[in-house]
Amino acid sequence: MKLKAPESVFSSASFCPGCGHGLASRLIGEVAEELGIQHSLVTVVDVACCSFNIDYWKFDTIMAAHGRDIPTAVGVKHVRPGSSVLAYMGDGAAYSIGMAETIHAALRNDNICVIVINNSVFGMTGGQMAPTTLPGEKTATSPKGKDPTRYGTLSGVELLKHMDIAYLARGELVGSAGMIKAKKLIKSAFQHQLKGDGFSLVELLSPCPTNLNLPPVKARDFVHNEMTKYFPTGVFIDKGGVE
Ligand code: SF4
């Protein structure tokens, strides 16, 4: 008897080829399994490209209003203190529309993990210039390159560096060494939450080939060679030394 093939094995939405989101999603899944939190983890995703994770993860996942992942995650943590809680978003949500939420959760040292995918543009809405766009970088709304005399480049990690939080780190979703390091950073952030240390934020520099108008390999090189000049990678806060 001929078996009927499913209508589609793919979800209706997916990350573009070469996008870093899929890599981060996988690393988060691996970390959750290794820490044994896969059945209690609650993830909150933003409405932007990261929202596709609703189709990929089998965790309990909530989609928050744009830029409101962090307060939603904080609310979940209050009602389910035994759950690990992750707020997953892009740089637009974390450092633009949701900047106040990011800062105030850090000020309160809320015991949640935040993962920010920084690709230097507003991805889902068409690649507009973002606070994280590099000086001179061409985007849909800065076709001649971002004018640094008018627009600064914001490092959310720099803003949080001197705050009393549990963990702060930045990695890059580039190459095997970058992936291994990124996974370690994600794991450390969750370990801090499990210890009850408070707010952890991991920023992951990520290629967005579609909006950079670059093939995936060149988009990856842009992250590694250009973005890291403005957004250096490393561990900046590690309260109590989980690493
Ligand atoms: S638009 Fe950019 S960030 Fe969004 S899925 Fe495509 S490559 Fe990834």
Cβ(134)–Cβ(226) below 8 Å:
yes
The pLDDT of residue 12 is 56
Protein residue closest via CA to atom 8 of ligand 1 = 19
Is 92 near ligand 1, meaning CB less than 6 Å away?
Answer: no
Is 93 near ligand 1, meaning CB less than 6 Å away?
Answer: no
Is 16 near ligand 1, meaning CB less than 6 Å away?
Answer: yes
Backbone angles phi, psi at 86, to 5 degrees: -125, 130
The pLDDT of residue 242 is 72
Q: How far apart are CA 81 and CA 102, in angstroms?
A: 20
Is 123 near ligand 1, meaning CB less than 6 Å away?
Answer: yes
Is 210 near ligand 1, meaning CB less than 6 Å away?
Answer: yes
Protein residue closest via CA to atom 6 of ligand 1 = 16
Residues 6+ apart with CB under 8 A from 1: none
Is 171 near ligand 1, meaning CB less than 6 Å away?
Answer: no
Instruction: Output the CA 129–ligand 1 centroid distance in Å.
Output: 14
Instruction: Output the CA 229–ligand 1 centroid distance in Å.
Output: 22
Q: How far apart are CA 215 and CA 236, in angstroms?
A: 32
Instruction: Output the CA 218–ligand 1 centroid distance in Å.
Output: 15
Is 119 near ligand 1, meaning CB less than 6 Å away?
Answer: yes
The pLDDT of residue 9 is 43
Residues 6+ apart with CB under 8 A from 50: 21, 88, 89, 90, 117
- Tens-of-pLDDT digits for all 243 residues of the chain? 555 544 544 455 689 999 999 999 999 999 999 999 999 999 999 998 999 998 889 899 999 999 999 999 999 999 999 999 999 999 999 999 999 999 999 999 999 999 999 999 998 888 899 999 999 999 999 999 999 999 999 999 999 999 999 999 999 999 999 999 999 999 999 999 999 999 999 999 999 999 999 999 999 999 999 999 999 999 999 998 776
Q: Which fold is adopted by the domain 21-238?
A: Rossmann fold (3.40.50)
Rg (CA), the chain: 18
Instruction: Output the CA 19–ligand 1 centroid distance in Å.
Output: 6
β-strand pairing of 234-238 with 167-172: antiparallel
Instruction: Output the CA 123–ligand 1 centroid distance in Å.
Output: 5
Atom of ligand 1 nearest to the CA of 90: 3
The pLDDT of residue 174 is 97
Atom of ligand 1 nearest to the CA of 20: 8
pTM (two decimals): 0.94
